[in-house]
Structure 1
Amino acid sequence: MKVLPRNEDFERGVQSPKHIISVSALVKNAKGEVLLLRTHWRSDTWEMPGGNVELGEPLDEAIRREFLEETGIVIRPIGITGVYCNASKQVISVVFHAEYVSGEIQIQPEEIIEARYIRLDEHNIGQWITRPQQKSRTLDAMKAEEMVPYETWEVNPTYNLLGRLHHHS
Protein backbone atom coordinates (compact mmCIF):
# COMPACT_ATOMS: atom_id res chain seq x y z
CA MET A 1 0.00 0.00 0.00
CA LYS A 2 1.29 3.44 -0.98
CA VAL A 3 1.46 5.98 1.84
CA LEU A 4 0.53 9.46 0.67
CA PRO A 5 2.26 12.48 2.20
CA ARG A 6 0.31 14.10 5.03
CA ASN A 7 -1.63 17.14 3.85
CA GLU A 8 -2.82 19.21 6.80
CA ASP A 9 -4.92 21.53 4.62
CA PHE A 10 -6.76 18.53 3.15
CA GLU A 11 -7.29 17.06 6.63
CA ARG A 12 -8.78 20.37 7.85
CA GLY A 13 -11.10 20.47 4.82
CA VAL A 14 -9.33 23.45 3.20
CA GLN A 15 -9.38 23.21 -0.59
CA SER A 16 -6.40 24.16 -2.69
CA PRO A 17 -7.33 27.18 -4.80
CA LYS A 18 -7.95 26.61 -8.50
CA HIS A 19 -8.06 29.86 -10.45
CA ILE A 20 -8.60 30.50 -14.12
CA ILE A 21 -6.08 32.96 -15.54
CA SER A 22 -7.17 35.21 -18.38
CA VAL A 23 -5.10 37.68 -20.36
CA SER A 24 -5.97 40.71 -22.46
CA ALA A 25 -3.97 43.46 -24.13
CA LEU A 26 -4.24 47.14 -24.95
CA VAL A 27 -3.02 47.80 -28.49
CA LYS A 28 -3.21 51.17 -30.23
CA ASN A 29 -2.82 52.10 -33.88
CA ALA A 30 -0.77 55.03 -35.22
CA LYS A 31 -3.72 57.40 -34.55
CA GLY A 32 -3.83 56.37 -30.88
CA GLU A 33 -7.07 54.41 -31.28
CA VAL A 34 -7.55 51.28 -29.15
CA LEU A 35 -8.37 47.90 -30.72
CA LEU A 36 -11.57 46.61 -29.10
CA LEU A 37 -13.99 43.83 -29.95
CA ARG A 38 -17.43 42.45 -29.10
CA THR A 39 -18.01 38.75 -28.47
CA HIS A 40 -21.24 36.78 -28.88
CA TRP A 41 -21.44 35.94 -25.15
CA ARG A 42 -20.76 39.57 -24.01
CA SER A 43 -22.35 41.44 -26.89
CA ASP A 44 -23.49 44.27 -24.57
CA THR A 45 -19.94 45.61 -24.26
CA TRP A 46 -16.71 46.20 -26.16
CA GLU A 47 -13.51 44.91 -24.59
CA MET A 48 -9.81 44.38 -25.19
CA PRO A 49 -8.98 41.16 -27.08
CA GLY A 50 -7.87 38.24 -24.92
CA GLY A 51 -8.86 34.95 -23.38
CA ASN A 52 -7.93 32.14 -21.02
CA VAL A 53 -4.41 30.85 -20.52
CA GLU A 54 -3.86 27.16 -21.29
CA LEU A 55 -2.22 24.83 -18.77
CA GLY A 56 1.54 25.48 -18.65
CA GLU A 57 1.36 28.32 -21.19
CA PRO A 58 3.44 31.44 -20.43
CA LEU A 59 1.20 34.51 -20.12
CA ASP A 60 2.98 36.49 -22.85
CA GLU A 61 2.55 33.56 -25.27
CA ALA A 62 -1.11 33.24 -24.26
CA ILE A 63 -1.90 36.88 -25.08
CA ARG A 64 -0.07 36.65 -28.43
CA ARG A 65 -2.08 33.50 -29.29
CA GLU A 66 -5.45 34.85 -28.11
CA PHE A 67 -4.95 38.22 -29.81
CA LEU A 68 -4.05 36.55 -33.11
CA GLU A 69 -6.98 34.09 -32.88
CA GLU A 70 -9.51 36.84 -32.12
CA THR A 71 -8.28 39.66 -34.37
CA GLY A 72 -5.82 38.25 -36.94
CA ILE A 73 -3.19 40.68 -35.62
CA VAL A 74 0.31 39.81 -34.41
CA ILE A 75 1.35 41.75 -31.29
CA ARG A 76 4.43 42.12 -29.09
CA PRO A 77 3.63 42.30 -25.36
CA ILE A 78 5.70 44.96 -23.56
CA GLY A 79 4.64 44.70 -19.92
CA ILE A 80 1.74 44.29 -17.51
CA THR A 81 -0.50 47.25 -16.71
CA GLY A 82 -2.71 45.56 -14.12
CA VAL A 83 -3.83 42.37 -12.41
CA TYR A 84 -7.52 41.94 -11.52
CA CYS A 85 -9.49 39.32 -9.60
CA ASN A 86 -13.07 38.18 -10.07
CA ALA A 87 -13.59 36.56 -6.65
CA SER A 88 -17.00 35.12 -7.64
CA LYS A 89 -15.68 33.17 -10.62
CA GLN A 90 -12.07 32.68 -9.35
CA VAL A 91 -10.62 34.41 -12.42
CA ILE A 92 -7.33 36.30 -12.29
CA SER A 93 -7.08 38.70 -15.24
CA VAL A 94 -3.69 40.00 -16.34
CA VAL A 95 -3.69 42.99 -18.69
CA PHE A 96 -0.73 43.65 -20.98
CA HIS A 97 0.30 46.69 -22.96
CA ALA A 98 1.41 45.49 -26.38
CA GLU A 99 2.62 46.86 -29.70
CA TYR A 100 1.16 46.10 -33.10
CA VAL A 101 3.55 43.96 -35.19
CA SER A 102 1.62 42.93 -38.32
CA GLY A 103 -1.67 41.85 -39.81
CA GLU A 104 -5.11 43.19 -40.65
CA ILE A 105 -8.25 42.77 -38.56
CA GLN A 106 -9.75 39.41 -39.39
CA ILE A 107 -12.29 37.97 -36.95
CA GLN A 108 -13.60 34.46 -36.30
CA PRO A 109 -17.37 35.00 -36.68
CA GLU A 110 -18.21 32.02 -34.42
CA GLU A 111 -16.67 33.87 -31.46
CA ILE A 112 -16.39 37.56 -32.38
CA ILE A 113 -19.13 39.89 -33.65
CA GLU A 114 -16.81 42.73 -34.65
CA ALA A 115 -13.39 44.22 -33.93
CA ARG A 116 -12.14 47.70 -34.73
CA TYR A 117 -9.97 50.58 -33.62
CA ILE A 118 -11.87 53.11 -31.50
CA ARG A 119 -10.87 56.57 -30.32
CA LEU A 120 -11.30 56.05 -26.59
CA ASP A 121 -10.97 58.49 -23.68
CA GLU A 122 -12.30 58.91 -20.14
CA HIS A 123 -15.35 60.82 -21.42
CA ASN A 124 -16.62 58.39 -24.08
CA ILE A 125 -15.45 55.03 -22.67
CA GLY A 126 -18.89 54.30 -21.18
CA GLN A 127 -20.48 54.40 -24.65
CA TRP A 128 -18.27 51.48 -25.70
CA ILE A 129 -17.32 49.56 -22.57
CA THR A 130 -20.43 48.99 -20.48
CA ARG A 131 -19.08 46.60 -17.83
CA PRO A 132 -17.34 48.37 -14.91
CA GLN A 133 -14.52 45.83 -14.46
CA GLN A 134 -13.66 46.09 -18.18
CA LYS A 135 -13.81 49.89 -18.01
CA SER A 136 -11.36 50.18 -15.08
CA ARG A 137 -8.78 47.80 -16.52
CA THR A 138 -8.93 49.51 -19.95
CA LEU A 139 -8.51 52.97 -18.39
CA ASP A 140 -5.63 51.68 -16.22
CA ALA A 141 -3.91 50.29 -19.34
CA MET A 142 -4.45 53.54 -21.26
CA LYS A 143 -2.96 55.63 -18.41
CA ALA A 144 -0.07 53.30 -17.51
CA GLU A 145 3.29 55.02 -17.79
CA GLU A 146 5.23 52.29 -16.00
CA MET A 147 4.58 48.62 -16.50
CA VAL A 148 5.14 45.69 -14.18
CA PRO A 149 7.87 43.29 -15.34
CA TYR A 150 6.87 39.75 -16.30
CA GLU A 151 9.11 36.68 -16.33
CA THR A 152 8.57 33.06 -17.36
CA TRP A 153 10.68 30.46 -15.57
CA GLU A 154 11.16 26.76 -15.99
CA VAL A 155 12.53 24.72 -13.09
CA ASN A 156 13.60 21.26 -14.21
CA PRO A 157 15.82 20.68 -12.19
CA THR A 158 17.76 23.93 -12.63
CA TYR A 159 16.28 27.41 -12.93
CA ASN A 160 15.97 28.54 -16.53
CA LEU A 161 14.63 32.00 -17.45
CA LEU A 162 12.52 31.51 -20.58
CA GLY A 163 11.55 35.15 -21.09
CA ARG A 164 11.29 38.57 -19.47
CA LEU A 165 9.23 41.63 -20.33
CA HIS A 166 10.33 44.87 -18.72
CA HIS A 167 9.60 48.31 -20.09
CA HIS A 168 10.66 51.76 -18.95
CA SER A 169 8.77 54.73 -20.36
Structure 2
Amino acid sequence: MSDVPRHIVAVSALIQNEAGHTLLVQTHNRSNTWEMPGGQVEEGEPLHEAVCREVEEETGIIIEPLGITGVYFNQTSDIVSVVFRAHHVRGDIVKQDSEIKAARFIELSEANIDDFVKRPHFKSRILDAMQGRYIPYEVWETKPYTLLERIEPGKTL
Protein backbone atom coordinates (compact mmCIF):
# COMPACT_ATOMS: atom_id res chain seq x y z
CA MET A 1 0.00 0.00 0.00
CA SER A 2 1.35 3.40 -0.99
CA ASP A 3 1.90 6.19 1.55
CA VAL A 4 1.04 8.81 -1.09
CA PRO A 5 -2.51 10.18 -0.70
CA ARG A 6 -4.73 9.41 -3.68
CA HIS A 7 -7.63 11.74 -2.93
CA ILE A 8 -9.55 13.38 -5.71
CA VAL A 9 -10.66 16.97 -5.07
CA ALA A 10 -13.97 18.01 -6.61
CA VAL A 11 -15.95 21.26 -6.52
CA SER A 12 -19.57 22.15 -7.12
CA ALA A 13 -21.74 25.23 -6.73
CA LEU A 14 -25.24 26.18 -5.70
CA ILE A 15 -26.30 28.90 -8.15
CA GLN A 16 -29.66 30.62 -8.16
CA ASN A 17 -31.14 32.97 -10.75
CA GLU A 18 -33.03 36.21 -10.03
CA ALA A 19 -36.24 34.21 -9.45
CA GLY A 20 -34.51 32.10 -6.80
CA HIS A 21 -34.48 28.94 -8.93
CA THR A 22 -31.48 26.63 -8.51
CA LEU A 23 -29.23 25.49 -11.36
CA LEU A 24 -29.06 21.69 -11.39
CA VAL A 25 -27.69 19.17 -13.85
CA GLN A 26 -28.25 15.52 -14.69
CA THR A 27 -25.26 13.50 -15.85
CA HIS A 28 -25.39 10.48 -18.13
CA ASN A 29 -23.74 8.40 -15.36
CA ARG A 30 -26.23 9.52 -12.69
CA SER A 31 -29.34 10.24 -14.76
CA ASN A 32 -31.67 9.20 -11.92
CA THR A 33 -30.86 12.34 -9.94
CA TRP A 34 -30.28 16.06 -10.27
CA GLU A 35 -27.18 17.61 -8.71
CA MET A 36 -25.19 20.83 -8.56
CA PRO A 37 -22.85 21.45 -11.49
CA GLY A 38 -19.18 20.84 -10.80
CA GLY A 39 -16.33 18.44 -11.25
CA GLN A 40 -12.75 17.54 -10.57
CA VAL A 41 -10.09 20.12 -9.75
CA GLU A 42 -7.09 20.01 -12.06
CA GLU A 43 -3.59 19.75 -10.62
CA GLY A 44 -2.43 23.13 -9.28
CA GLU A 45 -5.80 24.79 -9.96
CA PRO A 46 -7.28 27.00 -7.22
CA LEU A 47 -10.68 25.79 -6.05
CA HIS A 48 -12.53 29.02 -6.94
CA GLU A 49 -11.18 28.89 -10.49
CA ALA A 50 -12.05 25.19 -10.80
CA VAL A 51 -15.69 25.73 -9.83
CA CYS A 52 -16.02 28.61 -12.31
CA ARG A 53 -14.47 26.51 -15.08
CA GLU A 54 -16.57 23.43 -14.34
CA VAL A 55 -19.87 25.35 -14.20
CA GLU A 56 -19.09 27.14 -17.46
CA GLU A 57 -18.00 23.90 -19.18
CA GLU A 58 -21.14 22.06 -18.10
CA THR A 59 -23.77 24.78 -18.50
CA GLY A 60 -22.36 27.88 -20.22
CA ILE A 61 -23.15 29.94 -17.10
CA ILE A 62 -20.54 32.42 -15.78
CA ILE A 63 -20.43 32.60 -11.98
CA GLU A 64 -18.75 34.45 -9.14
CA PRO A 65 -18.08 32.30 -6.05
CA LEU A 66 -19.48 33.85 -2.86
CA GLY A 67 -18.07 31.38 -0.37
CA ILE A 68 -17.64 27.78 0.66
CA THR A 69 -20.68 26.27 2.35
CA GLY A 70 -19.26 22.84 3.11
CA VAL A 71 -16.49 20.29 2.68
CA TYR A 72 -17.47 16.63 2.30
CA PHE A 73 -15.54 13.36 2.05
CA ASN A 74 -16.67 10.25 0.15
CA GLN A 75 -14.68 7.51 1.86
CA THR A 76 -15.63 4.89 -0.73
CA SER A 77 -14.16 6.87 -3.63
CA ASP A 78 -11.60 9.01 -1.73
CA ILE A 79 -13.21 12.20 -3.05
CA VAL A 80 -13.04 15.46 -1.13
CA SER A 81 -15.89 17.69 -2.33
CA VAL A 82 -15.88 21.42 -1.72
CA VAL A 83 -19.22 23.15 -2.24
CA PHE A 84 -19.49 26.84 -3.06
CA ARG A 85 -22.43 29.14 -3.24
CA ALA A 86 -22.08 31.36 -6.29
CA HIS A 87 -23.69 34.34 -7.99
CA HIS A 88 -24.98 33.93 -11.56
CA VAL A 89 -23.05 36.69 -13.36
CA ARG A 90 -24.24 36.10 -16.92
CA GLY A 91 -25.13 33.57 -19.53
CA ASP A 92 -27.95 31.26 -20.43
CA ILE A 93 -27.86 27.52 -20.12
CA VAL A 94 -26.04 26.00 -23.05
CA LYS A 95 -25.19 22.37 -22.29
CA GLN A 96 -21.58 22.15 -23.40
CA ASP A 97 -20.16 19.06 -21.70
CA SER A 98 -20.68 15.56 -23.08
CA GLU A 99 -21.10 14.24 -19.49
CA ILE A 100 -24.21 16.39 -18.98
CA LYS A 101 -27.58 14.99 -20.03
CA ALA A 102 -29.63 18.03 -18.95
CA ALA A 103 -29.23 21.35 -17.15
CA ARG A 104 -31.92 23.72 -15.95
CA PHE A 105 -33.01 26.15 -13.26
CA ILE A 106 -35.45 24.43 -10.91
CA GLU A 107 -37.73 25.92 -8.28
CA LEU A 108 -36.09 23.94 -5.48
CA SER A 109 -36.96 23.97 -1.79
CA GLU A 110 -36.58 21.78 1.26
CA ALA A 111 -40.19 20.66 0.68
CA ASN A 112 -39.65 19.39 -2.89
CA ILE A 113 -35.95 18.46 -2.98
CA ASP A 114 -36.73 14.72 -2.85
CA ASP A 115 -38.58 15.04 -6.17
CA PHE A 116 -35.31 15.99 -7.89
CA VAL A 117 -32.32 14.92 -5.77
CA LYS A 118 -32.32 11.16 -5.22
CA ARG A 119 -28.92 10.70 -3.58
CA PRO A 120 -28.71 11.61 0.12
CA HIS A 121 -25.15 12.95 -0.03
CA PHE A 122 -26.12 15.38 -2.82
CA LYS A 123 -29.23 16.40 -0.88
CA SER A 124 -27.31 17.29 2.29
CA ARG A 125 -24.81 19.38 0.30
CA ILE A 126 -27.58 21.31 -1.43
CA LEU A 127 -29.50 21.91 1.78
CA ASP A 128 -26.33 23.13 3.52
CA ALA A 129 -25.56 25.47 0.61
CA MET A 130 -29.12 26.83 0.58
CA GLN A 131 -28.55 28.09 4.15
CA GLY A 132 -25.81 30.37 2.84
CA ARG A 133 -23.38 30.08 5.77
CA TYR A 134 -19.81 30.46 4.60
CA ILE A 135 -16.33 29.66 5.81
CA PRO A 136 -13.23 31.67 4.81
CA TYR A 137 -11.36 30.66 1.65
CA GLU A 138 -7.86 31.82 0.78
CA VAL A 139 -5.34 31.14 -1.97
CA TRP A 140 -1.70 31.80 -1.09
CA GLU A 141 1.66 31.67 -2.76
CA THR A 142 4.62 31.20 -0.47
CA LYS A 143 8.24 32.21 -1.02
CA PRO A 144 7.42 35.09 -0.79
CA TYR A 145 4.08 35.02 1.02
CA THR A 146 1.44 36.55 -1.22
CA LEU A 147 -2.32 36.39 -0.68
CA LEU A 148 -3.81 35.85 -4.13
CA GLU A 149 -7.50 35.49 -3.28
CA ARG A 150 -9.73 35.67 -0.22
CA ILE A 151 -13.46 35.10 -0.08
CA GLU A 152 -14.81 36.48 3.19
CA PRO A 153 -17.47 34.67 5.19
CA GLY A 154 -20.77 36.47 5.04
CA LYS A 155 -20.34 37.90 1.55
CA THR A 156 -23.87 38.02 0.18
CA LEU A 157 -25.59 38.66 -3.14
TM-score (structure 1 length as normaliser) = 0.88
Secondary structure of the 2:16 match is coil
- The residue type paired with residue 146 of structure 2 is N
Matching residue of 1:36:
24
- The residue type paired with residue 46 of structure 1 is W
Select 1:50's aligned residue among 38, 56, 80.
38
In the TM superposition, what is the alpha-carbon distance from 1:109 to its structure 2 partner? 5.7
Q: Percent identity?
A: 53
CA distance in 2 between partners of 1:28 and 1:108 (Å):
19
Question: 4+ residue stretches of structure 1 with deviation over 3 A?
Answer: none
RMSD: 1.3
CA distance in 2 between partners of 1:96 and 1:53 (Å):
13
Select 1:143's aligned residue among 118, 127, 131.
131
Listed one character per residue, the Cα deviations across residues 5-37 of structure 1 (whole Å, up to 9, x for unaligned) are xxxxxxxx7713221000000000111110001
Secondary structure of the 2:127 match is helix
Residue 128 in structure 1 maps to residue 122 in structure 2: no
In the TM superposition, what is the alpha-carbon distance from 1:38 to its structure 2 partner? 0.3
In structure 1, list runs of 5 or more residues that go unmatched: 1-12
Select 2:9's aligned residue among 2, 5, 21.
21
Contact 2:26/2:33 (<8 A) preserved: yes
In structure 2, list runs of 5 or more residues that go unmatched: none
- The residue type paired with residue 147 of structure 1 is Y
Contact 2:57/2:97 (<8 A) preserved: no
TM-score (structure 2 length as normaliser) = 0.94
Listed one character per residue, the Cα deviations across residues 67-94 of structure 1 (whole Å, up to 9, x for unaligned) are 0000001000010000000011110000
Task: Tell me: CA distance 1:58–1:116, structure 2 relative to 1, closer, same or farther (3 Å).
Answer: same
CA distance in 2 between partners of 1:109 and 1:138 (Å):
22
Secondary structure of the 1:66 match is helix
Q: What is the 5 A alignment of 1:86-105?
A: 86-105=74-93
Task: Tell me: CA distance 1:140–1:106, structure 2 relative to 1, closer, same or farther (3 Å).
Answer: same
Task: Tell me: CA distance 1:29–1:160, structure 2 relative to 1, closer, same or farther (3 Å).
Answer: same
